[in-house]
Amino acid sequence: MEILDLFKESEAVLEGHFLLSSGRHSQKYIQCERLMQYPDRAQRVVSVVADKVKNLDFDVIVGPAMGGIRAAYELGRQLNIRTIFTERVDNKMTLRRGFEIRPNEKILIMEDVVTTAKSSLETAAVLEALGGQVIGIACLVDRKVSRIDLPIYSAMELYFETYDQNDCPECKKGSQAIKPGSRIIFNE
């Protein structure tokens, strides 16, 4: 089965009128946690990433909270590599819970979705300030928006159109964009 079909079967590809974290609007949204709730599908999708990164040289996997936590854990489990996570404290990405980056440790960041890579790059900056070296960003879905210097290793690439509020076809129809992940979607 295609990776995209696994997402669709998990109802992880949502259609509607969404306000993305970038501020842009979209008619589609991918909610990876809806796939990740099924261990067999999580295993299957992450194995595609594992195959792409298994010969790279890295010591630790870091998954930025929340979306990166389960994806990173599953990747670490498959490759048997130490896996930790960062989280936001007062909106600043932070390494807590006694997790540490050892001097010159090579790091692979694992995300759910990479769009603008804003949180990945913020995570990378924090980890490098602690003495680590980020060698790349792995993810379940690469939305093909980012142009960044780090290599991206994804299970799937998925492009969909996003719109400025003024050009959004759904806004023109008069509907209200909702933040994905808000309760509204799941009560529909």
Q: Count the residues of the shown chain that bind Zn ion, applying the rule CB under 5 A.
A: 5
Q: Least separation, in Å, of the C-beta of 83 and Zn ion? A: 37
Closest residue to bound Zn ion by CB: 168
Return the residues of window 16-45 that contact Zn ion according to CB under 5 A. 25
Site string (130-169) toward Zn ion, x via CB under 5 A: --------------------------------------x-
Selected from 47, 170, 178, 185, the binder of Zn ion by CB under 5 A is 170
Q: Where are the beta strands (DSSP E) in the chain?
A: 13-19, 25-30, 60-64, 82-89, 92-95, 106-114, 133-142, 152-157, 162-163
Nearer to Zn ion, 59 or 170 (CB): 170
CA dist., res. 55 & res. 153, Å (int): 12
Q: Which of 138, 92, 141 is nearest to 115 (CA)?
A: 141
Selected from 171, 178, 181, 185, the binder of Zn ion by CB under 5 A is 171
Q: Which residues contact 177 (CB under 8 A, 6 or more apart)?
A: 17, 18, 19, 25, 165, 168, 170, 171
Nearer to Zn ion, 28 or 52 (CB): 28
SS3 label, residue 179: coil
| Site stretch for Zn ion (CB under 5 A), options 4-12, 66-74, 154-162, 174-182 | 174-182
Q: Least separation, in Å, of the C-beta of 17 and Zn ion? A: 6
Nearer to Zn ion, 17 or 41 (CB): 17
Phi, psi of 176 (to 5 degrees): -100, 130
- Interface with Zn ion, residue 177, by CB under 5 A: yes
Q: Least separation, in Å, of the C-beta of 140 and Zn ion? A: 25
Longest Cα–Cα distance in the chain: 54
SS3 label, residue 60: strand
Nearer to Zn ion, 99 or 163 (CB): 163
Sites of contact with Zn ion (CB under 5 A):
25, 168, 170-171, 177
